Amino acid sequence: MSDSLNIFREEVNNHLKKCHLSTSKSCSKSLEELLTILSRPPAYTVLRVNTLYYDRQEVKQQLQQVLSKQYENRKHSVPSVEEHNELSDTLIIPSQNVDGNDVIPVANEVIVDSLCAVAVLRGADIFAPGVMGAPVAMQVGDTVAVYGDLCGQCRRGYTQAFTGEKMFLGNGNALMSRSQLFVETEKPSGVAIKMTEPIFDCPSLNSVLTDRIFLQNLPSIVAGHVVNPQPGDMVLDMCAAPGGKTTHLATLMQNTGVLVALDKSAGKIKRIQENAAKLKLDMVKSYAYDSTKSCKPHAQLVEGTWNPPYPPGTFDRILLDAPCSGLGQRPQIKNNITLKDLQSYPPYQRKLFATAVELLKPGGVLVYSTCTITIEENEGLVQWALNTFPDMQLAPQIPHLGGSGMSSPDLTLTDTQLKLLQRFNPSIVMTTSSVPKYNMDTIGFFVAKFVKQNNR
């Protein structure tokens, strides 16, 4: 494993230590625990079942058969698919090795880029574009040790022993020779290395039962349930790509009503459409549009279309899964975000939130979520929202599987308000608790639910 304390730049570490880790422990100890856990993948693979068309128990059995076949050539036993005890649409697959200390690297060394390395840690095999360096004599069938290039220093086609900062990911079986990867074709494709002995044993579920399951982090599934859209509602997903939460909302709505998905990128909108099509959800109306400009006082809805912008008070429920610094994502092996980048998110999130308030009907529900751990983007946003919009009030969340919001000397939120918030703090996994571990060993995530009062 790499040194977990080197995930972020020193200026970001110092900022986290100073502003976001006010606990009874020393800040240095809290930061060390947090960074250690962020460098590892969650110990559970979480899947959401497309319950609109398929029964969870039936999908569970089908998935167990897939895993039995997949693990025929692995050193670990076949993991058991489990049902989440509180989320009726969720399946859990526990990893069998979360430390990676019993895998010994073989001599032949292959280097992959950092994006590929993260995917491997979450259970993926290695596709040809991710391979940066390989032994000159590597042939199909060779057993190789796979390392991730943490700092992007390995040039494609590298032949020498790589001396840059790297992380051991496990051993695998070469399905392509070095010549096939770097000589015979300009843009090789397909699986280049089959991971047979990864340091973290996660199942590889890409392209598996794609009409029945969707790989999704547990807190993201929780956020969809907190929105709790009903069939026939008018719902907006403001920052919708890649569509996991969008398709969850559509499933909860039983594919009935109006569900608008916005994202600034046309390419990302295409991904939303593809994911909806895989799950046979045809109610999603997706548009490439800047959500900060999606509310106009004199806008009019044209019958039969839902093109933005929209007049104030259009939607019953809004999900704002805001663009954020993403510091809660796992695993992270190297994150080059600067302090300036980190501080650029809250103003944009506030602008999105203000637009959401305008678009929400009186009595409507607004759920705000992020996949980051900073107070400015989470509890700080909540405090600003309550001070700025007196008609927006915090509401209880169902389900509430995470912890309460985090306190800070810079916040005036009461204990009652903090308990209404939901923060998934993966560093808590390192302590003992009576809470089911699969509800704790997650990415870092935050959820707040607001209801718009009828006095505006």
Residues taking part in catalysis: 371
**Vertex 245 angle, CA 339 and 390, to 5°:** 65
- Per-residue tokens: 185: 């074709």
Do residues 101 and 112 make contact, with C-beta atoms less than 8 angstroms apart? no
Residue 218: how many CB atoms within 10 A of its CB? 26
Residue 113: how many CB atoms within 10 A of its CB? 18
Position of tokens 């990302």? 268
Give the total residue count for the chain: 456
Angle between helices 244-252 and 218-227 in degrees, nearest 10: 40
Q: Which of 311, 301, 321, 433 is nearest to 372 (CA)?
A: 321
Return phi, psi of residue 246, to 5°. -60, -50
Radius of gyration of the chain (CA): 23
* Burial (CB count within 10 angstroms: exposed 0-12, middle 13-18, buried 19+), residue 363: exposed
278 three-class SS: helix
